[in-house]
């Protein structure tokens, strides 16, 4: 699942791939390295020798995942087990990995066991699917049929939890409760305590039985619930549309914000000089003259591939990273060069929810201590009064009061993320940067967290910068969407304007790569991998990978900002953007 934790950080990638060949095929280290380079080339890496000579930390997430696949293929297996291989990847890299796996399956006749919680990915790559709950297969059958017409209540709940582009609901369906403790399994159906269709008789054990439709289902009430829809938890929308948001001074505003990093190591810094591979410093504009604004109570979704600068932009707005140039204003106050004392006051108004609660929550502190710290730190309550405020915040994020005494390791992923949200709300902020808040969660838990964020936005009028590579989540929650590529905002507008033509070519490619339950789009755009050439263009930052490139002007001339009306803007040499073919 996580190539960064699997690959040895002290060994070059080529040597790690070659180890299997040395031990299983008896090759010499020199021949194994040559074969490793060939395997990297076979899986679509153009700069295979440079990648083989790199260390894991010098590669992108997608490149590390390809290196792991090359290592798994080295011994020429008949079965490949893939444990969440695309979970941490953005949609375009995910699509490339899925294409690669499909090609390998056809060329090598590989059987694959693909483990994932992304149902769209299952639909795109799998022939059959088995739905697992609490250690038991509860439904099994053809992927197309199970995902379009699920029979078991748990499978119904998973499918209903998925946000869909083009369909906006007040709330997403979610599955109440949590997985049972596998050490104390009660007799009968394991899903019964969470099942909205549970009835008398579900206390008895059930086997996996065939249905008239060809699937196998573990449910007592297959005939009764097979055609029933998962019950929603609709609530009337309480917020105004983005067009009705009050005009005036924005809550958060950036003007020509810029941040550049100098890379002295990594694939981007490697160069061949003659026959020698050397490393030369490279300047990378993570945030490149970004101008945007966020209104009070607004959700601005920020999407783009990994490495596009999304997280750096969010951290720069909060002054967790100092900008090189440009201005950030929060409630009209310039915080770009504010002294530490002024920043303390600003950070009461602006907080962050981190991507991974496992690394952002102190494992040695209880939930009470974690949430109380900012309350006391900002003088909002005394140490004696803080527990009462902690209890209120836990209730706000729908966690029982007794969770205050728990440690992070005693909670599920969704519960830990709720604690992270409660900690961010502790200071009464008006603005929160949500940095990939649901990327590591399964679909039902993701739906519950998305519903919680929407409810808090409506109740507290808090604004979000929602950073994610999951465009379906942005389509459900955001009022406006900004699309970022190589540090530039290449398109920005209301949700409906960005998600339908005309597009920036990069937006078009992102949308075409989103895995859905309907299967792969017939006109999906396959972007080439990032390369040094794609980072060296003097014109449009997307020119080297753009399938809509017009000619030399795209590579040599910086594109103008096209105003398409109602705040919909894109940077492109196509006068009105591009229509989907």
All residues at 6 or more sequence positions from 477 whose CB lies less than 8 Å from its CB, including other chains: 299, 301, 450, 453, 454, 464, 466
Q: How far apart are CA 345 and CA 66, in angstroms?
A: 45
Q: How far apart are CA 191 and CA 147, in angstroms?
A: 19
**Looking at residue 568, what is its pLDDT?**
92
Q: How far apart are CA 114 and CA 98, in angstroms?
A: 11
Tens digits of residue pLDDT in 114-123: 999 899 999 9
Adjacent-strand bridge partners of 492 = 482, 569
**Looking at residue 346, what is its pLDDT?**
87
Report yes or no: 143 and 129 within 8 Å, Cβ to Cβ: yes
Element (H, E) at 344: helix 340-349
**Looking at residue 233, what is its pLDDT?**
54
Which residue, 301, 445, 436, is CA-closest to 360? Answer: 436
- Whose tokens are 């009022």? That residue is 479
All residues at 6 or more sequence positions from 491 whose CB lies less than 8 Å from its CB, including other chains: 481, 482, 483, 498, 503, 504, 506, 507, 569, 570, 571, 577
Q: Exposed/middle/buried for 37, CB within 10 Å: 0-12, 13-18, 19+?
A: buried
**Looking at residue 575, what is its pLDDT?**
79
The domains located in the chain, with CATH, are: 3-116 (3.40.50.300), 129-226 (no CATH), 252-431 (3.40.50.300)
Which residue, 504, 513, 569, is CA-closest to 542? Answer: 504
Adjacent-strand bridge partners of 571 = 561
Report yes or no: 154 and 175 within 8 Å, Cβ to Cβ: yes
Report yes or no: 22 and 68 within 8 Å, Cβ to Cβ: no
- Greatest alpha-carbon span in the chain: 77
Within the chain, which residues score under 50 in pLDDT? 238, 240-246, 581
Which residue, 412, 411, 471, is CA-closest to 441? Answer: 412
**Looking at residue 510, what is its pLDDT?**
92
- Cis check: omega of the bond before 551, within 30 degrees of 0: no
Q: Which two tokens stand for residue 217?
A: 């289902």
**Looking at residue 244, what is its pLDDT?**
44
How many C-beta neighbours within 10 Å does residue 176 have? Answer: 12
Q: How far apart are CA 556 and CA 533, in angstroms?
A: 13
The Cα-based distances of 101 to 47, 70, 244, 475 in angstroms read: 20, 11, 46, 28
Element (H, E) at 513: helix 505-513
Which residue, 73, 68, 56, is CA-closest to 1? Answer: 68
All residues at 6 or more sequence positions from 298 whose CB lies less than 8 Å from its CB, including other chains: 242, 245, 251, 463, 464, 479, 480
DSSP 8-state class, residue 408: G
Report yes or no: 396 and 462 within 8 Å, Cβ to Cβ: no
Q: How far apart are CA 506 and CA 542, in angstroms?
A: 7
């Amino acid at each position: 699942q996580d190539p960064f934790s699997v690959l040895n950080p002290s060994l070059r990638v080529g040597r790690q791939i070659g180890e299997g060949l040395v031990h299983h095929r008896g090759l010499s280290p020199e021949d194994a390295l040559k074969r490793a380079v060939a395997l990297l080339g076979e899986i679509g890496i153009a700069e295979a020798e440079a990648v083989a000579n790199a260390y894991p930390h010098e590669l992108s997430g997608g490149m590390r995942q390809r290196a792991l696949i090359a290592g798994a293929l080295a011994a020429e297996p008949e079965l490949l087990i893939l444990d969440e291989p695309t979970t941490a990847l953005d949609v375009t890299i995910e699509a490339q990995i899925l294409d690669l796996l499909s090609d390998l399956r056809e060329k090598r006749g590989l059987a694959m066991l693909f483990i994932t919680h992304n149902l769209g990915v299952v639909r795109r790559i799998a022939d059959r699917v088995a739905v697992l709950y609490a250690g038991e297969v509860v439904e099994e059958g053809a992927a197309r049929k199970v995902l379009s017409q699920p029979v078991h209540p748990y499978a119904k709940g998973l499918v209903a939890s998925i946000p869909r582009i083009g369909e906006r609901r007040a709330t997403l369906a979610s599955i109440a409760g949590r997985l049972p403790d596998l050490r104390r399994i009660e007799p009968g159906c394991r899903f019964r305590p969470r099942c909205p269709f549970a009835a008398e008789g579900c206390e008895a054990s059930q086997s996996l039985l065939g249905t008239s439709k060809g699937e196998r289902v573990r449910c007592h009430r297959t005939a009764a619930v097979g055609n029933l829809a998962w019950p929603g938890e609709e609530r009337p929308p309480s917020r105004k549309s983005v067009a009705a948001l009050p005009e005036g001074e924005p809550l958060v505003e950036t003007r020509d914000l810029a941040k550049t990093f100098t890379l002295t190591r990594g694939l981007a810094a490697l160069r061949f000089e003659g026959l020698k591979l050397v490393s030369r410093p490279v300047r990378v504009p993570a945030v490149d003259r970004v101008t945007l604004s966020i209104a009070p109570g607004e959700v601005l979704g920020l999407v783009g591939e990994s490495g596009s600068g999304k997280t750096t932009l969010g951290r720069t707005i909060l002054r967790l990273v100092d900008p090189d140039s440009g201005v950030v204003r929060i409630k009209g106050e310039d915080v770009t060069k504010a002294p530490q004392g002024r920043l303390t006051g600003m950070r009461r108004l602006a907080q962050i929810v981190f991507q991974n609660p496992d690394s952002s929550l102190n494992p040695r502190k209880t939930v009470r201590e974690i949430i109380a710290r900012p309350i006391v730190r900002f003088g909002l309550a005394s140490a004696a009064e803080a527990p009462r405020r902690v209890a209120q915040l836990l209730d706000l994020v729908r966690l029982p009061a007794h969770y205050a005494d728990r440690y992070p390791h005693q909670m599920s992923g969704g519960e830990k993320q709720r604690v992270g949200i409660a900690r961010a709300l502790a200071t009464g902020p008006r603005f929160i940067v949500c940095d990939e808040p649901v990327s590591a969660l399964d679909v039902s838990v993701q739906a519950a967290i998305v519903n919680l964020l929407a409810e808090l936005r409506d109740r507290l009028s808090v604004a979000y910068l929602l950073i994610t590579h999951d465009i379906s989540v942005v389509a459900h929650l955001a009022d406006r969407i900004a699309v970022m590529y190589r540090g530039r905002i290449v398109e920005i507008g209301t949700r409906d304007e960005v998600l339908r033509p005309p597009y920036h070519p990069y937006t078009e490619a992102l949308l075409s790569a989103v895995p859905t339950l309907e299967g792969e789009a017939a006109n999906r755009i396959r972007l080439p991998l990032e390369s040094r050439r794609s980072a060296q263009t003097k014109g449009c930052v997307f020119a080297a990978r753009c399938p809509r490139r017009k000619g030399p002007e795209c590579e040599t001339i910086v594109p103008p900002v096209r105003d398409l009306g109602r705040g919909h803007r894109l940077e492109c040499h196509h006068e009105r953007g591009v229509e989907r073919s």
